[in-house]
Amino acid sequence: MKKTLALAGLIALTAACGGPAATTKAPDPAKLTLVDRTAKAAGPLDSAVWLLDEEPGTLDLDSDGGTNNRTVMANVCERLMQTQPDMTVKPWLAEKAEQPDPKTMVLTLRQDATFHDGSPVTADDVVWSLKRHAGEGMDESDEFEDVESVGKTGDHQVTIAFKKPNALFVQALAGGAGIVLNKEVVEKLGKDYGTPGHEDGCSGPYQVKEWASGSQITIERYDAYWNKEVKPLTKSIAFKWADDTALVNSLATGAAQGAYLSDTGPAVALQANQAVSVAYGATTKVFVLLPTDRGVLKDPKIRRALSLAVDRAGIAKSGFAGLARPWKVPVGAGAWSYEKEAFQTAYDQLQGAPESPQLEEAKKLVQEAGSPKEPIIVATNGEQARTVIANAVVDAAKKIGLSAEIKTVPASEFGSFYTDKSMRAQVDLVPDDWYITKADPIGFYDNGLTGSSNNWVGYSSPAYDELVAKALETTDDAARAKHVIELQRMFTADMVWISLVEVPNAVVLGSKVTGPPASQVHMGYPWAVDLGAKG
C-alpha cells in the first residue's frame, strides 16, 4: 500500500515538472529490448550528479557490501578479474588466472598497475587483501570457504590452494572477493578506513575526493590511472541519495543526471518524459516465494499446485507496473554468462510455472495431497509488490480448493525472516526478491542444499546435494552447464522456492548524458568510465 501511494505521487510530480506528461502505461516486457550498454558517449562531461537509494554507511566493502556502496566504489576499487557489461568475466589486475590442477589457481599480476598514492600494486597487497576479505565477519568471507591457503609465489605471482575444486572462484575474483587494497593505506587508517574524510586505498580510474556526511560523496577522475587504454570522460561525479519521489523530480528537472533503479516505479513514471531516457539490461534478480515447513506447503504437491495456479502475468502487471516478466526459475537470465543457448533451451522446456494459471492440473494435485484445510499464511510488509503477490496467492489458493490469509509485518522486521525461526514459524510463504552477484547460476542453487540457511521448507535430496558439489567442482563450462540445468530441473520440480517474475536492471539518464552499462554490472564494473556527453 505504501508503494502504491508513492507511485501515484511520482506520476503527478513528473507531470508537473515541465516535461511531457508522464503515463502510467509501462512498456510491454515481452517487447522490452535489453541492452548491455546505453549509446556510446561522444564527448567529455565536467561533472554529473548520480542518485542512490540512501547514503552508504561505509565505503569499506569488507564491512558492508551493500548495493549503494558497491555502486560508488565500483569506480574506485579494482578487482583481480572484471565482469563486463555483457556479463562475461575477463582478467584485470591479474593478467591471467591459470589452474595447473583443479585445486590450484595461479594468478599472474600486471606489473604496471598502481594505487592512488602512486605505489605499485604488489603480490603482497594481493595476498593481504584476499586474507582480509576471508576474515571472520567480512562481507565476502563465504567466498573463501574452499580456500586452503593464499601465498606469494613470485614477485608478480600469487597462488591459491583449495581444499576442493571451486569453479566459482574466478567469478568471485570479479566481485568483492577480488578487490585489491593498498595494504599500507588501509593498515594506517585502521578502523577509519572507509569513513568520511579519508583516502580510499584503491587503484581504479576514480578516487574518493570528498564524503560530506549527510550530503554527498564525490569521486574524481584519477588522471594518473595506470591503464592508459581507459579514458573516463566525466571529471567528477557527486553521489546524492533520494527516495523515489525526489529521484524522479531530480532526474526530470535535470538536477541529477542518472541513477540505477532498484524499483520499477520510477522507470514507469519517467518513461514518457523526454527529459530523460530509461534503458534496461540483463539481471539475475527474480521475485520468488520462499516456503516454510510449518504447514501444508511442506508437501511438494501443494507447492507445485500453487505454482500452477498463481497468475504470474497478473503479478507482473499489477505488482511491477508491467516492468517484469513471468519467470520459471529462481535466478535471472543475466546469470547465463556461458552456454546461453543450452540454458535458454532448458528454460523453455520447463513446466510447472506457467504465465497464466493452469487450474485443473493444480486442482488434481491438491486432491492427491488430501485437500488440506489448513490455511496458508503469506507474509507481506505492505509494499506494493509484496502485497500484490500475497493477494495473488490468496486468489490462487481459493481457486484450487485451498485457503490462504495475509499476515502483514512491519517493514523493519521483514528481513528477520532470514535469521529468526520464530518469525518463520508464523507464516507459510515469504515473497521476496533475490539476485546473485556472480554471472553463473550455480551461484544460486546451493540454497537448495540439505540444511541450507535459506532452505526453510526442509528440502533434502542426497542426489541434489551430490550434484551441487559436483557442479561447483566442474571447471569446464559446458560440463558445468549440464549439471546446473539438471539442478534447475530438480529445484523447480519440487518447487523448493516458487519463482514468479524476473525484473530487468534499469538505468535512467538525463537528456544530455549517455554511455554507462544497462546490465547488472554497476556493482563491480567501473560504469562511470563510460559516462559522458551525448553528441
CATH code for position 141: 3.90.76.10
Question: Which of 242, 273, 274 is CA-nearest to residue 260?
Answer: 242
Backbone angles phi, psi at 290, to 5 degrees: -100, 110
Distance between alpha carbon 216 and the CA centroid of its chain, in Å?
24
Q: Is 18 part of any domain?
A: no
| Cα 279 to Cα 35: distance, rounded to the nearest angstrom | 7
**Same domain membership, residue 298 and residue 271:** no
Residue 7 has a pLDDT of: 31
Q: Is 214 left (phi over 0), alpha (psi -120 to 50) or beta?
A: left
Q: Which of 136, 170, 192 is the last residue of a domain?
A: 192
Residue 12 has a pLDDT of: 34
Grid cell for residue 464: 541434489
Neighbours of 213 (CB within 10 A): 10
Grid cell for residue 225: 590511472
Say how many domains are in the chain.
3
**Same domain membership, residue 68 and residue 105:** no
Residue with cell 507447492: 303
Model pTM score = 0.84
3-state helix, strand, coil in the chain (%, to 5): 35, 20, 45
Q: Is 10 part of any domain?
A: no
Q: ∠63-69-71 over CA atoms, to 5°? A: 145
Residue 29 has a pLDDT of: 56
**Same domain membership, residue 395 and residue 323:** yes
**Same domain membership, residue 249 and residue 124:** no
Q: Residue 498: helix, strand or coil by DSSP?
A: strand
Q: Which of 143, 172, 192 is the last residue of a domain?
A: 192
| Cα 396 to Cα 161: distance, rounded to the nearest angstrom | 50
Q: Is 168 part of any domain?
A: yes
Residue type for 327, please?
W
Residue 11 has a pLDDT of: 32
Q: Is 22 part of any domain?
A: no
Q: Find the CATH number of the domain harbouring 227.
A: 3.40.190.10
Q: Is 20 part of any domain?
A: no
**Same domain membership, residue 64 and residue 83:** no
Q: Is 19 part of any domain?
A: no
Residue 27 has a pLDDT of: 64
Q: Which residues of the chain have pLDDT under 50?
A: 1-24
Residue type for 234, please?
T
| Cα 399 to Cα 274: distance, rounded to the nearest angstrom | 44
What domain range is 36 assigned to? 31-76+204-281+507-534
**Same domain membership, residue 52 and residue 99:** no
**Same domain membership, residue 519 and residue 480:** no
Q: Is 198 part of any domain?
A: no
**Same domain membership, residue 377 and residue 452:** yes
Residue 14 has a pLDDT of: 34
Q: Is 351 part of any domain?
A: yes
**Same domain membership, residue 208 and residue 83:** no
Distance between alpha carbon 405 and the CA centroid of its chain, in Å?
30
**Same domain membership, residue 248 and residue 101:** no
**Same domain membership, residue 140 and residue 64:** no
Q: Which of 153, 169, 192 is the last residue of a domain?
A: 192
Q: Find the CATH number of the domain harbouring 373.
A: 3.10.105.10
**Same domain membership, residue 523 and residue 437:** no
